Amino acid sequence: MKVEIWSDVMCPFCYVGKKHFENAVEQLPFKDKIEVEWKSFQLDPTLPVEGASESTLEYLVKRKGMPKEQIEGMMDHLQQAGSAVGINFRQDIAIPVNTFRSHRLIHFAQQHGKGNEMKEVLFFAHFTEGKNIGDIEVLTTLATEIGLPKEEVLALLQSEDQTQEVRNDIEEAQTLGISGVPFFVIDRKYGISGAQPIDTLAEALTQAFEESQPKFEMKGDQDAKACGPDGCEV
């Protein structure tokens, strides 16, 4: 069973949603039969790759057009949601940045079977460590930490490789009507929007898995004559 997850590395609830999804999968008896593919989505493609000069708080106040106190309240709520799943959100040091380069690296990592690991270290670097996840040196270090070949990573980041793949994901999201992330697509049959509770995700995954399994149903007259190991009915 395949689950495609549209998400942005600068999206805090995508990080929470990732944790919820992983916890949901862990309790399922068929967890080894679930294939995950990370899909690219950008909340703000206008941000500079070197990172904004303003804080996340200042950036959100300007972008959302909301009072500072309201944004601070949202951040407090986010802190609580993160703590519940082991995330230490440090929005005070997180750098608003263009995530296109990070998405290209995630695509590269998936080709090496390390998409989930790459996504996790990028989230942690951005939200907890306050690193610039648009910086080539930072991205190279993170990639090598999870076992990706340094020279290949550098060659990727210094080129335009995986650019079209990222754009394809973004265009596909528009085609599917995805306007917010995280967004989970299960076997191209069900869509789930937002960082849903663990039980909700587990229930949806279970339903999709059961529906994907072949069903055996008896037909005809159950009293019809038949032969078995002990002979034939007369």
Stated pTM of the model: 0.91
- Encode the chain (234 residues) as per-residue pLDDT tens digits: 999 999 999 999 999 999 999 999 999 999 999 999 999 999 999 999 999 999 999 999 999 999 999 999 999 999 999 999 999 999 999 999 999 999 999 999 999 999 999 999 999 999 999 999 999 999 999 999 999 999 999 999 999 999 999 999 999 999 999 999 999 999 999 999 999 999 999 999 999 999 988 776 776 676 767 776 777 776
Provide the residue ranges of all domains of the chain, joining segments of one domain with +.
Answer: 2-212
What CATH code is assigned to 2-212? 3.40.30.10
Q: What angle do CA 32, 185, 86 make, to 5 degrees?
A: 65
